[in-house]
Chains A and B, each alone.
Chain A
Amino acid sequence: MNQTGTRRRTADPRPTRQTGATPAGRPGRGRRWLQKHGFWVLLMSPVLLYLLVAQFYPLVETVRLSVFDHRPTSPEPQSFTGLDNYRELFTEDRNFWRVVRNSFLWVLGSTGLQLIVGTTIALVLNQRLRLRGLWRGLMLIPWVMPVIVVAIIWRWIFDGQHGLANHYLTQIGLLDEPIVWLGSEIWVWPVLLLTATWMGSPFIALMVLAALQGISRDVLEAAAVDGTTARQRLFHVILPMIRPTLFVAGMIAVVLTWFKFEVIWALTNGGPGFATSILPTYVYTQAFQRFDFGMAGAVAATAMAIVLVVAGILAKLFGPRKD
């Protein structure tokens, strides 16, 4: 129905506005719908079809793989194994729970820091400054940088032998001897979180800045007349007003960070050992280093399930309130 209708529609691209001017018979409901909407649906259809084939189908296929034993390198065909992959993952895999814990540390740590630093940057740039547009543009540079370059920058700064970080930290007396940051299971984390914050805060700052500019000066001046301090204005006027934006930005950051594999892979490859492996890097390890696509699918599906639950809880806790 839709198919033939669409073809008919394209044969006669000009909409006939008058009712009853249709040549043959009564105009059916479908026909009228096509006249009104057909062209727009036609324009959208290539992209919608592409998204179905290129993103939604792979999503389902990934979940399907998780209940199969499938190795692309082996000649044997894939075989259905039910929940075996999950059972093995949850009970036998010695790295898995560590990877899950790392994922939470990574997402909560870097999202929290990004929100705090991003909001701070936005508050600073929202002041009356000369060349504000320039600062706003420069602020976004870390955000548009290729992740490999970001990795080079921070690997160089935190290099164990020649890094700037070790030099300054020993100079001010915080360190007695240089740390091999990326080689230590503990010290690698501050470097990762700092990198993620440096790269991710500008985008949050951009959104918060737009929200801040939506707050009218009258509100702030009224609050100032009432004798509030700057601190009170920040916590009782400004932050509550930009709460919806902070929520949206935070949710975007949580989901993107949860599935982001590039920052960690470029910086540490998930190492040393599995110290900084998170679920997305573990998918990569399973699929492209061990060539176990079934297991990789199980890791990916688990990651999806967890993020759905976490996003739901966050939405309940911080989401738009009905009142």
Chain B
Amino acid sequence: MFRDSAVRVIGRYGSLVVVMGFILLPGLWLLVSSLKTNQTIFSSTPSWLVEEGTLDHYAWALGGRGLDMTRLMGNTLIVCVLTAAITAFFACLAGYGLARYQGKGARVAIIGLLIAQMVQGPMIMLPWYQIAMNLQLLDTRTILVLIYQTMTLPAAVWLMSGFFKNVPTELEDAAQMDGAGRLRTLTSVILPLTKPGLVAVGLYAFILAWNDYQYALIMTNSSSTRTVQIGIAQVMESMGAQNWGGILAAGVLAVVPVVVLFALAQRYLIQGLTAGAVKN
């Protein structure tokens, strides 16, 4: 029916090139520019090729005399790992509950999750700031891990419940017949089957926490708690156009972890996200 003429094939791949160009070229320009020397970065005829590459900007970005990305990334890493672990644990419990609960209010719980997903940033940051101040938690990593759960949990629970729903209930009945308690059934029968989901949810939480800017902006300040986003933003404010090379290199460094993790998790994430979105 849809026979392939040469024109069609060219049209198809031509449109692909345009779309992927729009999506990928800006990021590529960041990478290319970050590898150039200061003379070529600011050259009046920009070139997409790196003629004489240099890693100077990366050294500046990573080093303690420059942006100190090593420390920033260390701070962020701790916060993100904790956020991911806590989210995965509670999303696992609640997701399992949501997947199996048949009683009244199941719909209310789902709508509650949906609303919670929308209730973000400016709508909750004032009380959070005050509570953090009263509990002496301002400028700590603890408060970041706590507030990040508001971004990660709603969708994480929803994703996990999707994965649990794919596990047939007969398995649970069989395990219980064998005398396993319900928690035991969860940990030794159900969880091994949903491990990919659990990993995906953990990575999802990690990525969100890594990418956060607004909460870290109001909650942290000192160099021992500052996250990558805040560190870069502060340098951008204070030096602006003077050290583009270093800022570009820092940008590349900040994006590498998320892209790698996303590549690992994308199959399950896309599955979970689109299943939820399209069904409604």
Q: A59-B124, A152-B248 are in contact. Are A121 and B103 (CB under 8 A)?
A: no
Q: Are A210 and B153 in contact (CB under 8 A)?
A: no
Q: Are B278 and A211 in contact (CB under 8 A)?
A: yes
Q: A148-B254, A206-B273, A288-B218 are in contact. Are A56 and B126 (CB under 8 A)?
A: no
A161 at the interface (CB under 8 A from B): yes
Residues 205-251 (chain A) with a chain B CB within 8 angstroms: 206-207, 209-211, 214, 221, 224-225, 245, 248-249
Q: Which of B121, B236, B262, B266 contacts A260 (CB 8 A)?
A: B121
B24: chain A residues at CB < 8 Å are: 138, 141
Q: Least Cβ distance of A107 to chain B in Å?
A: 14
Residues 83-128 (chain A) with a chain B CB within 8 angstroms: 120-121, 124-125, 127-128
Q: A44-B101, A198-B26 are in contact. Are A146 and B120 (CB under 8 A)?
A: no
A297: chain B residues at CB < 8 Å are: 126
B100: chain A residues at CB < 8 Å are: 40
The stretch among B50-58, B63-71, B87-95, B192-200 that forms the contact with chain A is B87-95
Q: Tell me the bound Cα distance from A54 to B29 in angstroms.
A: 40
A224: chain B residues at CB < 8 Å are: 1-2
B10 at the interface (CB under 8 A from A): no
Q: Are A198 and B119 in contact (CB under 8 A)?
A: no
A135 at the interface (CB under 8 A from B): yes
Q: Are B262 and A148 in contact (CB under 8 A)?
A: no
Q: Are A47 and B119 in contact (CB under 8 A)?
A: no
Q: Least Cβ distance of A231 to chain B in Å?
A: 13
Q: Are B96 and A72 in contact (CB under 8 A)?
A: no
Contact bitstring B7-40, A, C-beta under 8 A = 1, else 0? 0000011011011101110110110010000000
A124: chain B residues at CB < 8 Å are: 15-16, 18-19
Q: Which of A55, A167, A248, A304 contacts B277 (CB 8 A)?
A: A248
Across the interface, name the chain A residue whose C-beta is closest to B208.
A144
A146: chain B residues at CB < 8 Å are: 210-211, 213, 228-229, 254-255, 258
Q: Which of A42, A57, A59, A149 contacts B97 (CB 8 A)?
A: A42
Q: A164-B29, A266-B233 are in contact. Are A207 and B277 (CB under 8 A)?
A: yes
Q: Are A37 and B183 in contact (CB under 8 A)?
A: no
Q: A13-B181, A125-B16, A140-B262 are in contact. Are A40 and B123 (CB under 8 A)?
A: no
Q: Are A62 and B29 in contact (CB under 8 A)?
A: no
Q: Which of B22, B30, B122, B154 contacts A156 (CB 8 A)?
A: B30
B201 at the interface (CB under 8 A from A): no
B122: chain A residues at CB < 8 Å are: 259, 261, 279-280, 283-284, 300, 303
Count, chain B residues at interface, CB 8 A:
93
Q: Tell me the bound Cα distance from A40 to B228 in angstroms.
A: 39
Q: Are B213 and A265 in contact (CB under 8 A)?
A: yes
A179 at the interface (CB under 8 A from B): no
A210: chain B residues at CB < 8 Å are: 274, 277-278
Q: Tell me the bound Cα distance from A145 to B214 in angstroms.
A: 15
Q: Are B254 and A44 in contact (CB under 8 A)?
A: no
A154 at the interface (CB under 8 A from B): yes
Q: A44-B93, A152-B251 are in contact. Are A58 and B278 (CB under 8 A)?
A: no
Count, chain A residues at interface, CB 8 A:
94
Q: A51-B116, A65-B126, A287-B126 are in contact. Are A152 and B30 (CB under 8 A)?
A: yes
Q: Are B229 and A145 in contact (CB under 8 A)?
A: no
Q: Are A287 and B124 in contact (CB under 8 A)?
A: no
Q: Least Cβ distance of A11 to chain B in Å?
A: 12
Q: Are B157 and A47 in contact (CB under 8 A)?
A: yes
B102 at the interface (CB under 8 A from A): yes
A290: chain B residues at CB < 8 Å are: none
Q: Tell me the bound Cα distance from A137 to B149 in angstroms.
A: 26
Q: Tell me the bound Cα distance from A287 to B102 in angstroms.
A: 43
Q: Which of B101, B127, B210, B232 contacts A41 (CB 8 A)?
A: B101
B113 at the interface (CB under 8 A from A): yes
A262 at the interface (CB under 8 A from B): yes
Q: Are B101 and A164 in contact (CB under 8 A)?
A: no
A62: chain B residues at CB < 8 Å are: 123-124, 126-127
Q: Tell me the bound Cα distance from A259 to B44 in angstroms.
A: 39
Binding site for A on B (CB under 8 A): 1-2, 12-13, 15-16, 18-20, 22-24, 26-27, 29-30, 33, 41-42, 44-46, 90-91, 93-94, 96-98, 100-103, 109, 112-113, 116, 118-130, 133, 146-147, 149-150, 153-154, 157, 176, 181-183, 207, 210-211, 213-214, 217-218, 228-229, 232-233, 236, 241, 244, 247-248, 250-251, 254-255, 258-259, 262-263, 266, 270, 273-274, 277-278, 280
Given contacts A44-B93, A59-B119, A265-B214, 19 further A-B contacts (CB under 8 A): A14-B176, A14-B181, A33-B103, A40-B98, A50-B153, A51-B150, A55-B116, A62-B124, A124-B19, A144-B258, A148-B233, A152-B236, A167-B44, A167-B46, A221-B2, A283-B125, A284-B122, A284-B218, A293-B126
Binding site for B on A (CB under 8 A): 13-15, 33, 36-37, 39-44, 46-48, 50-51, 54-59, 61-62, 65, 72, 120-121, 124-125, 127-129, 135-142, 144-149, 151-157, 159, 161-162, 164, 167, 198, 202, 206-207, 209-211, 214, 221, 224-225, 245, 248-249, 255-256, 259-262, 265-266, 279-280, 283-284, 287-288, 293, 296-297, 300, 303-304
10 pairs across A/B with beta carbons < 8 Å? A41-B97, A41-B103, A50-B149, A54-B149, A62-B123, A152-B247, A207-B277, A259-B122, A259-B123, A297-B126
